[in-house]
Chain A
Amino acid sequence: QSALTQPASVSGSPGQSITISCTGTSSDVGGYNYVSWYQQHPGKAPKLMIYDVSNRPSGVSNRFSGSKSGNTASLTISGLQAEDEADYYCSSYTSSSGWVFGGGTKLTVL
Chain B
Amino acid sequence: QVQLVESGGGLVKPGGSLRLSCAASGFTFSDYYMSWIRQAPGKGLEWVSYISSSGSTIYYADSVKGRFTISRDNAKNSLYLQMNSLRAEDTAVYYCAREGGYNSHFDYWGQGTLVTVSS
Q: How many residues of chain A get a CB closer than 8 Å to chain B's CBs?
A: 24
Q: How many residues of B contact A (CB 8 A)?
A: 24
Count chain B CB atoms within 10 A of each CB in A3, A93, A98, A100 and give the residue with the most.
Answer: A98
Residues of A contacting B46 with CB < 8 Å? 101
User: How many angstroms from the CA of A5 to the CA of B28 in the assembled complex?
Assistant: 35
CB contact under 8 A between A101 and B107, given known A45-B112, A46-B95: no
Cβ B101 vs Cβ A101 within 8 A? no
User: With an 8 A cutoff between CB atoms, is A64 at the interface?
Assistant: no
Tell me which of A45, A52, A101 contacts B44 (CB under 8 A): A101
**Whole-angstrom distance between the Cβ of A87 and the nearest chain B Cβ:** 8
Which residues of the partner chain A approach B103 to less than 8 Å between Cβ atoms? 32, 34, 93
CB distance from A78 to the nearest CB of B (A): 22
Residue in A45, A48, A52, A102 with the greatest tally of chain B CB atoms within 10 Å: A45
Report B-chain residues with C-beta under 8 Å of the C-beta of A103: 44
Given the interface contacts A45-B110, A46-B95, does A101 sit within 8 Å of B105 by beta carbon? no
A69 at the interface (CB under 8 A from B): no
Main SS at interface, chain A: strand
Of B50, B106, B112, most buried by chain A (CB within 10 Å of CB) is B106
Q: Which residue of A lies closest to B35 (CB)?
A: A99
Contact of B104 among A3, A36, A45, A102 (CB under 8 A): A36
CB-CB nearest in chain B for A47: B109
Q: Which residue of A lies closest to B107 (CB)?
A: A48
A residues near B61, Cβ cutoff 8 Å? 1, 98
